[in-house]
Amino acid sequence: MDTIANSTVPEGSTEQWRDKKRYLWLIGLVVPSLAFIAYGLWLATGSGAWFWIGPVVILGVVPAIDLVAGLDRSNPPDDAIEALEKDRYYRWITYLFLPLQYVAFIGAFYVIAQGDPFGVGGDLSVLDKFALAVSIGCAGGIGINTAHELGHKREANERWLSKIALAQSFYGHFYIEHNRGHHVRVATPEDPASSRVGENFYQFWPRTVLGSLKSAWRLERKRYARRQMHPFRIGNDVINAWLMSAVLFGGLIAWLGVGIAPYLVIQAVVGFSLLEVVNYMEHYGMLRQKVGKPGKERYERVDPSHSWNSNNIATNVLLYHLQRHSDHHANPTRRYQTLRDFEESPVLPTGYAGMIVLASVPAIWRRVMDPRVLAHFDGDISRANISPRKRDKYLAMYPPPAPTAEETAAAQAEADAAAEAALDEVMAARCPGCGYAYEVEAGNELEGFAAGTAWKDIPRDWCCPDCGVREAADFVRVEKVDAR
Binding site for other proteins (CB under 8 A): 154, 179-180, 183-184, 219, 222-223, 226, 292, 298-302, 330-333
- CB of 168 closer than 8 Å to CB of 270: no
Q: Which is nearer to other proteins, 179 or 316 (CB)?
A: 179
Least spacing, CB of residue 303 vs other proteins, in Å: 10
Alpha carbon distance 20, 116 (integer Å): 41
Least spacing, CB of residue 20 vs other proteins, in Å: 26
Q: Among 464, 465, 474, 481, which Cα is nearest to 427's?
A: 481
Contacts (Cβ under 8 Å, ≥6 apart) of 67: 350, 354
Q: Which is nearer to other proteins, 237 or 370 (CB)?
A: 237
Alpha carbon distance 221, 202 (integer Å): 29
Q: Which is nearer to other proteins, 62 or 219 (CB)?
A: 219
Q: Which is nearer to other proteins, 190 or 445 (CB)?
A: 190
- CB of 369 closer than 8 Å to CB of 280: no
Least spacing, CB of residue 339 vs other proteins, in Å: 13
Q: Which is nearer to other proteins, 333 or 408 (CB)?
A: 333
Q: Which is nearer to other proteins, 183 or 391 (CB)?
A: 183
Q: Which is nearer to other proteins, 159 or 456 (CB)?
A: 159
Alpha carbon distance 165, 460 (integer Å): 61
Alpha carbon distance 87, 108 (integer Å): 34
Least spacing, CB of residue 180 vs other proteins, in Å: 5
Least spacing, CB of residue 367 vs other proteins, in Å: 34
Least spacing, CB of residue 332 vs other proteins, in Å: 7
Least spacing, CB of residue 109 vs other proteins, in Å: 34
Least spacing, CB of residue 348 vs other proteins, in Å: 24
Q: Which is nearer to other proteins, 105 or 299 (CB)?
A: 299
Alpha carbon distance 278, 356 (integer Å): 7
